[in-house]
Each structure stands twice: as structure tokens, then as C-alpha cells.
Amino acid sequence: MSAVVNPEGVLAGRVAVVTGASRGIGAAIARRLAMEGAKVVVSARTVEPGQHRLAGSISETVAQIRDAGGEAHAIRCDLALPEDRKRLIEQTTERYGPATILVNNAAVTYYFPVTEFPEKRYQLMMEVQVRAPFELSAMVVPGMAEAGKGHIVYISSGAARHPQKPYRRRAGGTVYGMAKAAVERFSTGMASEVYEQNIAVNAISPGLVRTPGTELHGLVNEQTQARQSPVEAIAEAVRFIAASEPKEITGRVDNIQSFMKEFELKPVELIG
């Protein structure tokens, strides 16, 4: 049976914002949430095909959702810019009403050793991967509190874990891991702050997923097959969290494989 949109699904009436939704994990999450009836705002810098060296754009993600009978809207947003972050939430509210689901997925990543890391690129990674999720999460809380429930999900990475001996030569991933670790701690801390407002905050660590970005960096190969998870698994985990009671699943940082096993989840076919 082909994937379809269920307008009366478990997320009917909810408004979701998914950052980094032009391709890969973000696009998959946007499609999965739409399949359950959510109105989805997809955001990224790449609006139309051909604007980025990697395949995928938010206009294509929106088209996939609408063609299947779902509701979606694209908003271009450069998360490195405070004014764009503010505009994303404002325009979402104007279009659909307050967001009650926020998926902080967008990332920009550079690999340099610490002693060679360019200041400009360091600042950009901190803005997009740390400051942006911090501000977006703060901005959606009032609307979630008014609605009586909300879910914030951060897409993290196994890079947040501390390296263990015996050390091996790494391709300059220290800053990336630092950024991911920062927001995992932010997620658990914020979960404690908004618990009584019935807002859940969680982080999912996807492991290695075949996406245009991971293929570009040469991370997907025969040696890494055992660590790979399908993009549909991450989308299903986020769907499950967003459909849960906020106080039942919150303040967690989970590896995707263990999360899927714990809740007996299976990846499902996506629209598009």
C-alpha cells in the first residue's frame, strides 16, 4: 500500500516547523508529520531546485506534501541571521497559527582541526546549530503554552559523545561534536523548565543516515554500514514523540536504534 496523507491523523490540527527541510532528514520528517495531518512549515535556505550543489529544496518538499493531499508552506530562512529566525516564527503564526511542534534539524558543518578552525566558520556553526535552536525554542513556548501542549525535538548526533581511547585520527569533528553536545544539554535543561507547561523537549541522535550531505562528506560506505539507519526511522521517531503526551516522553537524549527498539517502532514508507 502506497504512503498517503491522513487528514484526521494523530497530528491533525497541529502546526509543525521543521528546519533544514530541503533534503535528507528534515525533508523526511516534514513529510511524515504531514502524513498524520499536521500543517507543516518547511524551512531552509534552498528554495528552488538548482540553488545548491546538493539535490533538494523546500519547494520540492512542499510539492511532495501537497501532491499527496497534505498541507505545507515553505519559508526561506537563513538560521545564521537573527532577523530570519524571528521572521520564520512570525510568518508561521500568520499562516497557520502558533507552532505546537518544532523540529530543530538544520545544521551547517565544517571539518577542521581545532588549531586550524577558521573563526568565521566557527561562528557560523555556533549560530546555526546552537543559537538558532535556542532562540526558536524560546519563541515557540508562549504559543505552545497557550495551546496547552507542545513538542520540541532536536536532531543531534553521536558526535556529541566524548571520544574514547584508543584515540584515532579524526577529520576535525571536534567543533561539530561540541555544538551537538551543547544543544543536548540545552534540550534536557529546557525540558525541566517547561515541563509544567505541558511542553516536551527531546533530542534524537540519528547515527549515520544516507543523505546528500553524508554522501558528500564520504561518511556512507561499506565500513559504516552497521551504524547506518534509514531516514524513515528518524521521521518515525519524531512522529511518535510529537503524538505522545508531553509529560510522558520528555528530557530524553536517545540513539535512534535504541529508541525504535524501546517503543517497538518500524520505519514506514513516506509520501513523495
Active site residues: 156-157, 176, 180
Q: Which three cell numbers stand for residue 161?
A: 559523545
Closest alpha carbon to 202 in 118, 126, 263, 147: 263
Rounded CA-CA distance 150/133 in Å is 15
Q: Coil, strand or helix: which one is 194?
A: helix
Q: What Cα–Cα distance (Å) separates residue 54 from each residue in 29, 216, 242?
A: 18, 8, 29
State whether the Cα torsion 59-93-31-260 is positive or negative: positive
Task: Give the orientation angle of helix 58-67 with respect to helix 24-35, to 10 degrees.
Answer: 20
DSSP symbol at 212: H
